[in-house]
Structure 1
């Protein structure tokens, strides 16, 4: 299999689906001729033409609103919101229209749209280019929410999202777009290093939505994470010497509760890690779900390791990120019970 970074894997997924399904089309700000601000759609307009891959005005609400109409008509649009921080003008279209279309039409219409957007920090983008708002979308009934951690999953999950008959918000952690990441907040990898992160098949395959991946089996404590934090947690588990079971959620909604519950019942302990701010972050929902399903099996309080409840700090983003040291401290605390 060829080696690809996440950008190349996402590009390959869209290439496969454009060729495979004539109802698939791609549009958004700068995704056509320029190939996207992160080059995820590079070369697709040249290959498939400007009627299937095209630029849109700077109007996130208009982009998603148009996609909802196209989806109801029978197309499968894949739209890009240039940064997750810009998605808020499209919230009404996503939550009031796309998420509810199947229900309010009694199944007569659906919104098979995929909304791709880069999220999180790692490029010194400051407060308006670094947010992680995934919890807002996981809260909305009718939306599916995805965040991959590696190129193989990114391609398979994106193809599955495009083929899904319901709307999917597909978050792409820009910190791991281009290369390997060692998990340390004090050793950042240059965002445009150009290194490959994994082997990815050229052709069609899917990674099912709603199915987590146990990346590191263990018996002492369950670590729940997704996106960039997967690499942080793997580093922490290796360096702490604790027999941690690291689970990459991959899909936040639908959530693979079966895998989570089986792991926590085995280990009796749980640490939850995400980059987004702590209060009302997705970790709070995970903690509630684990407590409700596994209370009698828990041997220690559930720990959360997250970003701080502050506006995103431009100059100190590597201190803002949860790093292996903070995760290791949480692992050590739960093992003391």
Structure 2
């Protein structure tokens, strides 16, 4: 095991994949010589050459469109979009081409492509650098959507995504990249200069897509979440003193419904937590599935805790995030049901 930040774990996954498979290439804005805006691809061009790790024009539509053609040709492109907020020009290419290529060609072509995007807030990036658009991808048949919450999973999930024969959207919570995070967004101890290190296995390993993880066992309620909010959930549960089970989805699509329903049927209560806006957020889908599959086991309504239904408020970022206090109130409410 090695101690790594999420950035270092993601970089390690790139290095291993490129070392073991000459068909893996990395492309995007500033990913080459500079090593990416968050340095996730630092050193790859120097090690593997400019033919396998290269900079592209500032055109997300062009980047993703070219990558789809490269993937159809037989290579395995790993695309970096600098911020998830920038992916909208490429959304048509992702939805209309990448997601449908296998089906529209009756299996003659596939699209083994990974699109990496730093997502979410927590770094005071404002409205155009802080969005959480995961629900836009989970709605699209043909795509897989991944959101890691720690360095160990980030590496294993990225290696699994690169090995997958179909397109994978890989959303990286930028708040977890390299800052210590105890679940509270407003504590002065948070220093962007420090690294949040985690135990990461060295070498090649795959964390299977579609498998959730119970990060805290409990009997009183089930708290379903992913990404940055895993840390918020753990902080809230610790401070509440309640015996709540916390599940990290890790992969939103395919969704590990078996893990979710097994937990909720045992506890009888469920809270779904995410930082994206509430209306039409991915939590609505989870809540609907839990209600349908666990109705006769539920002791209280399924609750959702999420971001505000407003454009991202730069000046009120700390209040926008569902912090431990809001989660604690939800725990108290669901326990009263």
Q: TM-score by structure 2 length?
A: 0.99
Task: Please list, as runs of the form range in 1=range in 2, the aligned pairs for 1:97-136 lying within 5 A after superposition.
Answer: 97-136=97-136
Asked if 1:293 is matched to 2:293, the reply is yes
Please say if residues 236 and 324 of structure 1, whose CA atoms lie closer than 8 Å, have aligned partners that are also in contact.
yes
Which residue in 1 is equivalent to 2:329? 329
**Using the alignment, how far apart are the partners of 1:188 and 1:68 within structure 2?**
44
Correspondence list, 1:197-212, <5 A: 197-212=197-212
Aligned to 2:80: 80
How much does 1:112 deviate? 0.3
* Alpha-carbon contact 2:180-2:194 (below 8 Å) kept: no
Partners of 2:202 and 2:249 lie apart in 1 by 24
Mapped partners of 1:188, 1:293: distance in 2: 43
Residue 187 of structure 1, CA deviation: 1.6
- 8 Å contact 2:145–2:254 — kept in the other structure? yes
Asked if residue 49 in structure 1 is aligned to residue 49 in structure 2, the reply is yes
Check conservation: 2:176, 2:196, Cα contact below 8 A. no
CA contact (8 A) 1:176 1:191 kept: no
Local SS of the residue matching 1:310: coil
1:17-166 alignment, distance < 5 Å: 17-166=17-166
Q: Give the corresponding residue for 1:230.
A: 230
The separation in 1 between residues aligned to 2:13 and 2:220, in whole angstroms, is: 37
Deviation at 1:184, TM superposition (A): 1.0
Aligned to 2:265: 265
The answer for the alignment partner of 1:311 in structure 2 is 311
| Larger deviation, residues 285-294 vs 187-196 | 187-196
- In structure 1, runs of 5+ residues without a counterpart are none
SS at match of 2:309: coil
Task: Say if 2:206 is the partner of 1:216.
Answer: no
Q: Structure 2: where are the runs of 5+ without partners?
A: none
- What is the rounded CA distance, in whole Å, between the counterparts of 2:191 and 2:137 in structure 1? 26
- Cα 1:32–1:78 change in 2 (3 A) is same
User: CA, structure 1 residues 213+109, in 2 after alignment: closer, same or farther (shift >3 Å)?
Assistant: same
1 CA distance for matches of 2:336 and 2:120? 32
Aligned to 1:172: 172
Q: How many residues align?
A: 337
> Compared with structure 1, are the counterparts of its residues 14 and 191 closer, same or farther at alpha carbon in structure 2 (3 Å cutoff)?
farther
Shift of 1:192: 3.0
Shift of 1:179: 3.0
Report deviation, 1:32: 0.3
CA-CA distance at 1:195 after TM superposition:
1.8
Normalising by structure 1, report the TM-score: 0.99
C-alpha spacing 1:248/1:57, structure 2 compared with 1 (3 Å):
same
CA distance in 2, matches of 1:12, 1:187: 30
In structure 2, what is the Cα distance between the partners aligned to 1:192 and 1:76?
33
Distance 1:79 1:105 in 2: 23
Task: For residue 170 of structure 2, give the secondary structure of its aligned residue in structure 1.
Answer: strand
Q: CA deviation at 1:201?
A: 1.9
Seen in structure 2, the aligned counterparts of structure 1 residues 161 and 297 have a Cα distance that, compared at 3 Å, is same
Q: Is the 8 A contact 1:98 1:111 kept in 2?
A: yes
Q: CA deviation at 1:188?
A: 6.1
